Chain A
Amino acid sequence: MTLELERNVPDPADETPDGLRSPIDVDPEGRTSLAATAERAPAPWRRVLPWLSVGLAFAVVALVVAWALAPGLFTAQDPYTGVPADKLAPPSAAHWFGTDPTGRDLFTRVVYGARYSLLGGTVAVGVGLVAGTALGVIAGSIGGFLDELLMRVVDVLLSIPGLLLSLSVIILLGFGTTNAAIAVGVTSVAAFARLSRSEVVRVRRTEYVEAAFGSGGRWWSVLLRHVLPNSLTAVLALAALQFGTAVLAISTLGFLGYGAPPPTPEWGLLISEGRSHLATSWWLTTLPGLVVVVVVLSANRISGWISERREGAR
């Protein structure tokens, strides 16, 4: 019932005490007011660039997914056994990313490592998305005391720094790739819950939701037909963003030694192992790190693209 009576605040169009009405002219081009300036002039290359970068981001993600699903297609070498004679070779045509102290091909190890990062990112986002969105949607659509309570729980989750929270979960679950992923997912529950709640609350207050009740809609049908579809695009954008964040966090845990055990070619672990040859073999740390940066950058770009499309569709 609360869903329906949400808009019981004085309507700003009528009841503002200071004698202001909402502006009269609604210009389809949004240029009614002299004061509406701001946007920058789009030069031709500025219009192409965003599309190019989105295309590139999707291409990167597709490539990394392919690495994870069928690493054998991208490299003929073995990620676990090396050729000792070739140890610590710098990047070359035979070894694109060079080799490590036991002569293993670094590019091969990065390709095989994709599955740990991707799987970990997916599990983490899954945990955060499912738990967080459920909490947020329940809080936002039921409201009242339950809303208050759930949001205080979210405040508590937010107050503990992400890394420390995931370490606390890891100490409970134990080390390992999946456990690290779950631990990272727990830290994103709060973000998903907050966003989905605020979106549900925002959409609930729109006139079209009231209009849906006005034309005889029932609580559930309005929630499913209007509130959720209009709330969840923002959540989708956050999921893409959190995927990038999760890949970062998982590699951090791997680097600290709380993720996959050696000799797993997990990306964070690769960088950690390369540290002992920092002075001589720069590629061991630099190249896997660059791969992480590119993947995270792509996930963030895709997230930005989803948000832009959403704003354009309003």
Chain B
Amino acid sequence: MTYVASRVLSSLGVLLGAFTLAFVLLQALPGDAVMIRFENPELGLTAEQIAAIRESYGADSGLLAEYWHALSGALGGDLGYSVASGAPVRVLVGEALGSTLLLAGLGFVAAVLLAGLLAFAASLSPFSWLATLLRSLPSLFISVPVFWLGIVLIQLFSFRLGWISVIRPGPVEALILPVLTLAVPISAPLAQVLLRAIDDVRAQPFVAVVRAKGASEPWLLVRNVLRNAALPAMTIAGVLLGELIGGAVVTETVFARFGIGRLTADALNAQDTPVLQAIVIIAAAVFVVVNLAVDLLAPVLDPRLRRRVQA
């Protein structure tokens, strides 16, 4: 069995685990969404009608059968029906996904740029006070609530400075502040790990050897240090994906953007568990796939890992 196959297999295992956990949390345990919704006396449904509705949602079959039904459905792309609107979850999620992916993707790119810039400037700064200042920025960024940052940015750029319109902004204009809001807190841990990795690599004997060949600091950073420091940064970037998804949900709420975040909020308020479950599973799938890709890409950066892959 190759390394790749075993990594893929364990990723599938994690995904199945995530599906099971979401099922247990949202469907198997008490807090029956159907009952909450339809037993409301205002609807005036008879007991028979409720039973019929329950049956149509598959709520009455045994737990295992229900799990199997949900799992085989999910594998075939059928994520069930929204309890609130009756629409297929697949359609609801499909409509919202694009906008959120755009926001998260841009946010991630901006975070990587920001983190890279910060780490670079801090490592090459000729003034120690500037380096110290830059190095303390990530711990500040990491302490800022995403939602508050969004609000402050709106306040500053829209209300005070009037640079970005709040009322019907253009498609690009509407993305600037949300992307920034999302990028800042994600960039912080990335910059911290990158800086730490750069420091660690710079302490390695081989860096002194290159220095002894007459290399300048920028040469060292670009040609020797960065490639060695990229691996830990890439690994943490994969793990930060979870934060990114959570941050996108919050950012959408703050900026009143349509997307998965709105869908999540609506689902939560309506106790619409099938929708919430689908969102959890899709998020977990994205997380697992991205981290699998990071694992499989690592040998490209570090030749020492290649032996393991070929074995």
B47 CB, min distance to chain A CBs, angstroms: 26
Which single residue of chain A is at the shortest CB-CB distance from B21? A156
Q: Which of B24-32, B170-178, B227-235 contacts A (4 or more CB under 8 A)?
A: B24-32
Which single residue of chain B is at the shortest CB-CB distance from A186? B25
Partner of A275 from the list B10, B151, B245 (CB cut-off 8 Å) is B151
**CA–CA, A152 to B199, complex, Å?**
32
A227 CB, min distance to chain B CBs, angstroms: 26
Task: Tell whether, in the assembled complex, residue B14 and residue A155 are in contact, meaning their CB atoms are under 8 Å apart.
Answer: yes
Query: Which A residues are within 8 Å of any B CB, using their own CB?
Result: 33-41, 43, 46, 49, 152-153, 155-165, 167-172, 244, 248, 251-252, 255-256, 258, 268, 271-272, 275, 278-279, 282, 285-286, 289, 292-293, 296-297, 300-301, 304
Supposing A255-B147, A271-B148, A297-B140 touch, asked if A172 and B155 sit within 8 A by C-beta, the answer is no
B279 CB, min distance to chain A CBs, angstroms: 6
Taking CB atoms, residues of chain B closer than 8 Å to A248 are: 143, 145
- Which has the most chain B C-beta neighbours within 10 Å: A156, A271, A285, A289? A156
**CA–CA, A39 to B199, complex, Å?**
8
B8 at the interface (CB under 8 A from A): no
B102 at the interface (CB under 8 A from A): no
Partner of B287 from the list A35, A161, A251, A289 (CB cut-off 8 Å) is A161
Taking CB atoms, residues of chain B closer than 8 Å to A304 are: 139
Secondary structure at chain A's binding surface: helix, strand, loop or mixed?
helix
**CA–CA, A255 to B253, complex, Å?**
10
Task: Tell whether, in the assembled complex, residue A36 and residue B203 are in contact, meaning their CB atoms are under 8 Å apart.
Answer: yes
Secondary structure at chain B's binding surface: helix, strand, loop or mixed?
helix
Task: Tell whether, in the assembled complex, residue A293 and residue B22 are in contact, meaning their CB atoms are under 8 Å apart.
Answer: no
Task: Tell whether, in the assembled complex, residue B22 and residue A160 are in contact, meaning their CB atoms are under 8 Å apart.
Answer: yes
**CA–CA, A237 to B283, complex, Å?**
29
Taking CB atoms, residues of chain B closer than 8 Å to A153 are: 17
Considering the complex, which residues of chain B in the window 248-286 have a beta carbon less than 8 Å from any beta carbon of chain A? Answer: 249-250, 253, 264-265, 268, 271, 273, 276, 279-280, 283-284
Supposing A34-B208, A248-B143, A271-B151 touch, asked if A162 and B159 sit within 8 A by C-beta, the answer is no
Taking CB atoms, residues of chain B closer than 8 Å to A251 are: 145, 148
A36 CB, min distance to chain B CBs, angstroms: 7
Taking CB atoms, residues of chain B closer than 8 Å to A158 are: 239, 242, 287
Task: Tell whether, in the assembled complex, residue A163 and residue B152 are in contact, meaning their CB atoms are under 8 Å apart.
Answer: no
Supposing A40-B128, A256-B265, A271-B148 touch, asked if A168 and B25 sit within 8 A by C-beta, the answer is yes
- Which has the most chain A C-beta neighbours within 10 Å: B140, B151, B154, B243? B151
B152 CB, min distance to chain A CBs, angstroms: 6
Task: Tell whether, in the assembled complex, residue A162 and residue B246 are in contact, meaning their CB atoms are under 8 Å apart.
Answer: yes
B142 at the interface (CB under 8 A from A): yes
Task: Tell whether, in the assembled complex, residue B145 and residue A293 are in contact, meaning their CB atoms are under 8 Å apart.
Answer: yes
Task: Tell whether, in the assembled complex, residue A156 and residue B14 are in contact, meaning their CB atoms are under 8 Å apart.
Answer: yes
Task: Tell whether, in the assembled complex, residue B155 and residue A286 are in contact, meaning their CB atoms are under 8 Å apart.
Answer: yes
18 contacts between A and B (CB under 8 A): A37-B202, A37-B207, A160-B21, A160-B284, A167-B264, A168-B25, A171-B271, A171-B276, A248-B145, A256-B250, A256-B265, A271-B147, A278-B151, A285-B148, A289-B145, A289-B151, A289-B152, A293-B144
- Which has the most chain B C-beta neighbours within 10 Å: A167, A251, A296, A297? A167
Which single residue of chain A is at the shortest CB-CB distance from B17? A156
Taking CB atoms, residues of chain A closer than 8 Å to B283 are: 160-161, 164
Task: Tell whether, in the assembled complex, residue A297 and residue B139 are in contact, meaning their CB atoms are under 8 Å apart.
Answer: yes
B146 at the interface (CB under 8 A from A): yes
Task: Tell whether, in the assembled complex, residue B273 and residue A33 are in contact, meaning their CB atoms are under 8 Å apart.
Answer: no
Taking CB atoms, residues of chain A closer than 8 Å to B239 are: 158
Task: Tell whether, in the assembled complex, residue B21 and residue A300 are in contact, meaning their CB atoms are under 8 Å apart.
Answer: no
**CA–CA, A275 to B155, complex, Å?**
10
Partner of A37 from the list B22, B203, B246, B250 (CB cut-off 8 Å) is B203
**CA–CA, A162 to B18, complex, Å?**
13
Supposing A271-B151, A286-B155 touch, asked if A162 and B242 sit within 8 A by C-beta, the answer is yes
Taking CB atoms, residues of chain B closer than 8 Å to A43 are: 128
Taking CB atoms, residues of chain B closer than 8 Å to A38 are: 199, 202-203
- Which has the most chain B C-beta neighbours within 10 Å: A170, A252, A268, A297? A252
Taking CB atoms, residues of chain A closer than 8 Å to B211 are: 37
Which 4 A/B pairs are nearest by Cβ-Cβ distance?
Answer: A163-B246, A35-B205, A156-B17, A289-B148
**CA–CA, A167 to B271, complex, Å?**
11
